[in-house]
Structure 1
Amino acid sequence: MIDPSAPLPRPRSDLAEPPDAVPALPGALGVLQGRMLLQVSPARVGYLRGQLDAGRSGLVLCGKNALRKAKKLRGEEQFSGPLLIDPAVYEARAASEKEPFPHASEDTFAFDDPLEVSLAEQRAVGATAPVTPTGYLHAEDSDALKAAVRRVAALDDAQVVFAAPVDVGWLREEDAMRQLIACLRLVKGPKAIMLGGQMDPLARHARAVDHLRRVIEEVPGAALLRTDLAAFGGLAAGAEFTAFGAGSRLRHIVAPGEKAETSKGFSTSPHVLFPKLMDFFLGKTLAERFAGAQAPVCGCAACEGMWALDAFASNEGERPARAAAHNVAVLMEWLRTLTAIAPGLARQRWWHERCRAAVERYPLVNAQLRQPDAFKVPPQLKRWALAAPPSAPHEANGQTTAEDQRRS
């Protein structure tokens, strides 16, 4: 539950004013600043590594064999880019006041400290910085959150990335969101927020996108991992770095003990990013929708005008690998465009306009296909399209207040 006695951060008085200058990340962490990494399972690194933008991206390995793959990448594969390892303890165990960093494996001894062991293992295989093995933080479980924060703060090590795998319920109400901010501000180093909830967590609550932006704005060193469109929205809002999940399972967290909800036909074909609509669709779905019309030919760095979006209708042959490469190539194009824009309101406006334009394309594409319900706007894209950035005072003619902007 929310602790009413906990200190709450003072809201920014005017969101139209530029935020305070963010200090550069210290030491080796500096290489992460401003990047959008790709969060990927070790087995799929080969599908997408060739499309990574070396100057703007990197890898977050997640899941079984992540440590082994990291060691191989740093050794025989000579990968020198930013590399994080997400222990993903939150998938199996929830954090508690007694065990904010719970034992995730029966292979460890009961007297071993899960936090110290995990940090040491990650450093040993060449991770850019170690990520804490935090358990899942259920909505409004302030006792577990504060216990995790106190333990990491006691390390007094700004080179450790504090993983905050929080249920999206923390972003539902103002008080919960503000307490999350207050706790995260106590950690010295970067804070890697990851959102929990079925399918699309940010679509579950009307204020979730707006509250996430406020967390990023008001928590120095805030980052955003294991996510989707929010990886770009986070960078636009000023996140230190983000990570886009290379598979649907790696774009959100399912709370321990819950069965993941999946879209129908998930195993029949790969997910394919439709650039103009800014969403992923099953390759089989795209083939069906464009059965009576010419599908868009993709000119991304992976497809090079040789593949149309209806060419991924099954998991046969090289299609999964080509779909993964296409997805990453498109994401890297977006990333290069975003990072070419000066940080601040200009980036926020670019992101907002891009989302708004994508929403407006849905009825146009459906009309071209003569299928009114062929493609439906995903709820999260709608949220970003509605979340207009704050206006400068002269643009608002003195009428728009910070609170007005938060309601938009």
Structure 2
Amino acid sequence: MTQQPGDHLPRTRPAWELLKDKILVHTRTGIRYGKSPVLAAGEHDGIILCGAGALTTADALHRQAVEPWTVLVDPNCYDQLATADAPFHLPGAHHHGQGSLFEDDEPDPLGFDQTVQLRRGATAGLTPTRYIPGGDRRAVRAAVRAVLDLDAEQTILTLPLDHRWLRSSDDLDFLVTTLADVPHIKGIALGAAANPLATKGTVAGLRRLITGLDRVALLRTDLAGLDAYAHGALFASIGMQTSMRHVSPPGTGGPPRPTDRNVTTVVLHPQLMDYFTCDVLKDRYGNLPAPLCHCGVCCGRSLLRFDHDRTDQEEANRHNIATWLPWADDLQRTTAGAERVEVWRRLCRDAVMARQELRHELGDPSAFETPRWLKTWAGEPD
């Protein structure tokens, strides 16, 4: 058979070995000035690419890299609801717009979709699963039945779950029972109009799901990916852009964007362990001395220097990655189990204390209120 794109990629190990203990950067594919913004972010474990051109970019990264890259491709089919009859987005064998990679027609659209990803350089294939509404068990069963026909060593079952799945004990029992015997990696992506973990009980529910399954990953998330990894997730991916830090339910249109500007710059505050828009940071600090950051991007400069423009947004994205990378490294260097959980809990407790001290400095007990998820990560009940 004629050599096909991606045949240069050796896959002698299953995906769960290749992806184990990795914290990936989840990013849109967007290219500016001839290079991907994620490539300027420094050292990290790999990336998940989302958006037009993701397949082509994944293939190019593998071909150009001196050492093999860990690359996955997010099919990004979350603007459609999964159903029992159609859990996946499979409009046809050529829906990627890449043309056929094979000499013969492929009778299995789902298998074809996975093979396209693998031959374009992906470390494993992510299933193009549509958004699964809270409690829709028939859609979950349909996705599970279909994926069992695919190679478990090269396929990740993507599960874009509405956050309401985490609030029902019965639904969580169903998920754990239904997914327990699925040998594939289960890639959980949480959906909500805002932060999926903002509602009472959702952090505990997510931990229950993570600890109840083998070969499970948390995708397209924020620092919740580190909490999931600390509690036993195989790997996680943290979004570089705000839209890559959770899945938006169909019809919500994604996170709201201010009407008076085209760019929103979001900054991860190292001491507070939270993301803030740059104008919110400036407003809340008021007359206090500007907080300084010593990550590899900031090098001691102020966190208040950022504005809502494209250049600052890209630099803030690099700062965000450079900020959480050392936390990920600390967890990866720590023995899995109670020791790793305690390292993570200690980081979060320090952030809770930093917020209390900052409120005292500001003389405002309502400023920088500790979010529910951070309290739970730090060891308080959810």
Say yes or no: does 1:384 pair with 2:377.
yes
Aligned residues: 358
Counterpart-to-counterpart distance in 2, 1:156 and 1:334: 33
Counterpart-to-counterpart distance in 1, 2:22 and 2:107: 34
Name the aligned partner's letter for residue 83 of structure 1: V
Are the counterparts in 1 of residues 185 and 216 from structure 2 also a CA contact under 8 Å?
yes
Partner of residue 155 from structure 1, selected from 150, 159, 165 = 150
Q: Which residue of 1 aligns with 2:299?
A: 304
Are the counterparts in 2 of residues 283 and 314 from structure 1 also a CA contact under 8 Å?
yes
Q: Shift of the alpha carbon at 1:263?
A: 6.8
* Structure 2 residues without counterparts, runs of 5 or longer: 1-11, 97-105
Counterpart-to-counterpart distance in 1, 2:262 and 2:137: 38
Q: In 2 relative to 1, CA 93–79 (structure 1 residues): closer, same or farther, beyond 3 Å?
A: farther
Worse-matched range after superposition: 169-178 or 97-106? 97-106
Q: Which residue of 1 aligns with 2:40?
A: 50
Q: Shift of the alpha carbon at 1:162?
A: 0.8
State the Cα deviation string for residues 76-114 of structure 1 (Å, max 9, x = none).
Answer: 45572211111011x2221111111133689649x9744
Q: Which residue of 1 aligns with 2:101?
A: none
Partner of 2:159, secondary structure, is: strand
Q: Which residue of 1 aligns with 2:88?
A: 101
Worse-matched range after superposition: 35-44 or 289-298? 289-298
Q: Which residue of 1 aligns with 2:333?
A: 340
Q: Which residue of 1 aligns with 2:59?
A: 71
Say yes or no: does 1:278 pair with 2:236.
no
Name the aligned partner's letter for residue 203 of structure 2: V
Counterpart-to-counterpart distance in 1, 2:211 and 2:363: 43
Q: Shift of the alpha carbon at 1:133?
A: 0.7
Q: Shift of the alpha carbon at 1:117?
A: 2.7
Counterpart-to-counterpart distance in 2, 1:164 and 1:312: 35
Name the aligned partner's letter for residue 123 of structure 1: L
Say yes or no: does 1:81 pair with 2:69.
yes
Q: Shift of the alpha carbon at 1:337?
A: 1.4
Say yes or no: does 1:37 pair with 2:24.
yes
Q: Shift of the alpha carbon at 1:371?
A: 4.2
Q: Which residue of 2 aligns with 1:18?
A: none
Q: Shift of the alpha carbon at 1:184?
A: 1.4
Are the counterparts in 1 of residues 15 and 153 from structure 2 also a CA contact under 8 Å?
no
Q: Which residue of 1 aligns with 2:308?
A: 314
Q: Which residue of 1 aligns with 2:244?
A: 250
Counterpart-to-counterpart distance in 1, 2:269 and 2:257: 17
Name the aligned partner's letter for residue 343 of structure 1: A
Q: Shift of the alpha carbon at 1:203?
A: 1.4
Are the counterparts in 2 of residues 160 and 189 from structure 1 also a CA contact under 8 Å?
yes
Q: Which residue of 2 aligns with 1:397?
A: none
Worse-matched range after superposition: 119-128 or 349-358? 349-358
Counterpart-to-counterpart distance in 2, 1:269 and 1:28: 35
Q: Which residue of 2 aligns with 1:165?
A: 160
Are the counterparts in 1 of residues 93 and 112 from structure 2 also a CA contact under 8 Å?
no
Are the counterparts in 2 of residues 94 and 102 from structure 1 also a CA contact under 8 Å?
no
Partner of residue 354 from structure 1, selected from 344, 347, 350 = 347
Q: Which residue of 2 aligns with 1:133?
A: 128
Are the counterparts in 1 of residues 257 and 264 from structure 2 also a CA contact under 8 Å?
no
Say yes or no: does 1:199 pair with 2:201.
no
Worse-matched range after superposition: 68-77 or 327-336? 68-77
Q: Shift of the alpha carbon at 1:51?
A: 3.2
Are the counterparts in 1 of residues 92 and 109 from structure 2 also a CA contact under 8 Å?
no
Q: Which residue of 2 aligns with 1:238?
A: 232
Counterpart-to-counterpart distance in 1, 2:367 and 2:93: 48
TM-score by length of 1: 0.81
Counterpart-to-counterpart distance in 2, 1:102 and 1:324: 30
Q: Which residue of 2 aligns with 1:328?
A: 321
Percent of pairs with identical residues = 32
Are the counterparts in 2 of residues 225 and 231 from structure 1 also a CA contact under 8 Å?
yes
Q: Shift of the alpha carbon at 1:279?
A: 0.4
Say yes or no: does 1:59 pair with 2:53.
no
* Structure 1 residues without counterparts, runs of 5 or longer: 1-24, 389-407
Matches within 5 A, 1:358-373: 358-373=351-366
Say yes or no: does 1:229 pair with 2:223.
yes
State the Cα deviation string for residues 157-204 of structure 1 (Å, max 9, x = none).
Answer: 332111011111111111100101111123211110111111111112
Counterpart-to-counterpart distance in 2, 1:68 and 1:387: 45
Name the aligned partner's letter for residue 221 of structure 1: R
Name the aligned partner's letter for residue 182 of structure 1: T
Partner of 1:277, secondary structure, is: coil
Q: Which residue of 1 aligns with 2:175?
A: 180
Q: Shift of the alpha carbon at 1:383?
A: 3.0
Q: Shift of the alpha carbon at 1:218?
A: 1.6
TM-score by length of 2: 0.86
Counterpart-to-counterpart distance in 2, 1:53 and 1:64: 24
Q: Shift of the alpha carbon at 1:223?
A: 0.8
